[in-house]
Amino acid sequence: MRAEQVRRKQPPGYDRRCRELSEEEHAQKEAEGLTPVVRFKIPLVGQTRFSDVVWGEVKFENNTLDDLVLLKSDGYPTYNLANIVDDHKMEISHVIRGEEFISTTPHHVLLYKALGYEPPQFAHLPRLMGTDRSKLSKRHGAVSIEEFHKQGYLPEAMLNFLALLGWSLDDKTELMTRQELIASFSLERVKKTPASFNREKLDWMNGVYIRSLDPEDFLQRSLPFLERDLPPEVVRPLPVDYIRQIMPLVHERAKTLADVPELTRFFFTVQLDYDTELLIAKGMTVESTHHALEVARQQLAELPAFDAESLEEMLRPLAVELELKTGQLFGALRTAITGQTAAPPLFQTMAVLGRETCLERIDRALDRL
């Protein structure tokens, strides 16, 4: 019947053919072996209205409502019936659910009344959509909260971000703690328009929350990600005391906890893999780079204390001595020592890595040139 209606471009739905069966007709159908369902006889005229915290006063014409099934042919109640009875028995005061239920709400209201129940307060929330305005689904952008956790997002950042989907406090407040959220959230300020996920903004917000973590907390939360994502050749268990020295160097550089392994990888791997070209800073040649690294290597080997401060006190004058810009000398050293052109501050990085490792890496860079 349904297919037929669609084909004829008729509104699909129950045609009420059995709404007014007589006793005889009823008996006859049963004699034919038909197992009936029980439907809700919706009033044919008038309108049903209810007030929704988000939607305001909502009004539906009764003649657009169809006679929904209350009891299935197997005798079990449908969701629509069970839902109402259950909510009533549980003394539910507020029904807060997705906007897609707004259309069936008048049926529910009518049912509450038919059963002599007092309808609860309704609040229909806007749907969440993907960045491209498409519906969020498992195969399209949407991920479970566990998935976000795996991707390195902090629970407190997620809570803050999610709260802002479909709701806002005012025209400027964005960052709110859990307590502030609890204190200021209100259904009245929830909007009807579908909210959509802005991943870039989530990344930014997560970064804000990561930076607000105290060092030890950041370390503890990062550990599982390091265990999971650092290359397999890095020996486990990971040296926590060593990591404790590394973490402050990448703390403000991580947008997610999942970034941490990538940002710190060179602290753990023995073999650095990089393009030799990267050693040669702008305005320099193979020769000048080789010379600079050689002199630096020699002085580093003799430096009394290998800490960040001493390193800086030694390397800055060296740049002048070599007639190089600091960026040129430091750039060459950075690539030699980290294998990257973008990395945490050089002196602190060197201090954490230690003299032996730094010298080895410079030697290896010299071999390449």
| Smaller CB separation from RNA, 130 or 224 | 130
Give the whole-angstrom CA distance, residue 346 versus residue 351: 9
Beta carbon of residue 198, minimum distance to RNA (angstroms, whole number) = 4
Does 103 bind RNA (CB under 7 A)? Our answer is yes
Cα–Cα distance, 360 to 191 (Å, whole number): 60
Helix (H) or strand (E) holding 50: strand 47-52
Report the Cα–Cα distance between both ends of the chain, in Å, rounded.
80
Which long-range CB contacts under 8 A does 79-87 form with residues at least 24 apart?
Answer: 80/40, 80/104, 80/107, 80/108, 80/111, 81/111, 83/108, 84/108, 84/111, 84/112, 84/115, 84/117, 85/115, 87/120
Using CB under 7 A, which of the segments 115-123, 168-176, 228-236, 272-280 binds RNA?
168-176
Q: Which of residues 261-320 bind RNA (CB under 7 A)?
A: none
Binding-site member from 117, 185, 204, 242 for RNA (CB under 7 A): 204
| 105-120 residues labelled b (16+ CB within 10 A) or e (exposed) | bbbbbbbbeeeeeebb
Name the catalytic one among 59, 89, 138, 172. Answer: 138
* 201 makes contact with RNA (CB under 7 A): yes
Nearest to 39 by CA among 58, 65, 57: 65
> Residue from 247, 332, 343, 365 that binds RNA (CB under 7 A)?
343
Distance separating alpha carbons of residues 258 and 163, to the nearest angstrom: 23
Contact with RNA (CB under 7 A): which of 3, 4, 7, 9?
9
Interacting span for RNA (CB under 7 A) from 240-248, 270-278, 340-348, 354-362: 340-348
Whichever of 85 and 102 has its CB closer to RNA, that residue is 102
State yes or no: is 138 an active-site residue: yes
What would the x/- binding string for RNA be over residues 122 to 151, using CB under 7 A?
-----x---x-xxx----------------
* CA pair distance 356, 248, nearest whole angstrom: 22
Residue of the chain from 301, 345, 354, 368 that contacts RNA (CB under 7 A): 345
Closer to RNA at the Cβ: 177 or 227?
177
Candidates 62, 104, 151, 288; binder of RNA (CB under 7 A) is 104
121 - beta bridge partners?
94
Using CB atoms within 10 Å of the CB of residue 246, give its burial: 0 to 12 exposed, 13 to 18 middle, 19+ buried: buried
Helices and strands counted in the chain (H then E): 16, 8
Which residues does residue 161 pair with via DSSP β-bridges, in sequence order?
Answer: none
As measured in angstroms, the least distance from the Cβ of 7 to RNA is: 11
Burial class (CB in 10 A: 0-12, 13-18, 19+), 22: exposed
d(CA 349, CA 355): 11
Q: Which residues contact 116 (CB under 8 A, 6 or more apart)?
A: none
Size of site (CB under 7 A) for RNA: 72
- The correct pick among 99, 156, 229, 307 for binding RNA (CB under 7 A) is 99
Report the residue from 346, 351, 353, 365 that binds RNA according to the rule CB under 7 A. Answer: 346
Nearer to RNA, 224 or 248 (CB): 248
Selected range binding RNA among 240-248, 269-277, 342-350, 351-359, rule: CB under 7 A: 342-350
Distance in Å, CB of 302 to RNA, minimum: 21
Q: Is the CB of 193 or the CB of 298 nearer to RNA?
A: 193
Nearest to RNA of 118, 171 (CB atom): 171
Contact yes or no for 339/272 (Cβ under 8 A): yes
Subset of residues 14 to 73 that bind RNA, contact rule: CB under 7 A = 14, 37, 55, 58, 60-61, 64, 66, 68-69, 72-73
* Residues identified as active-site: 138
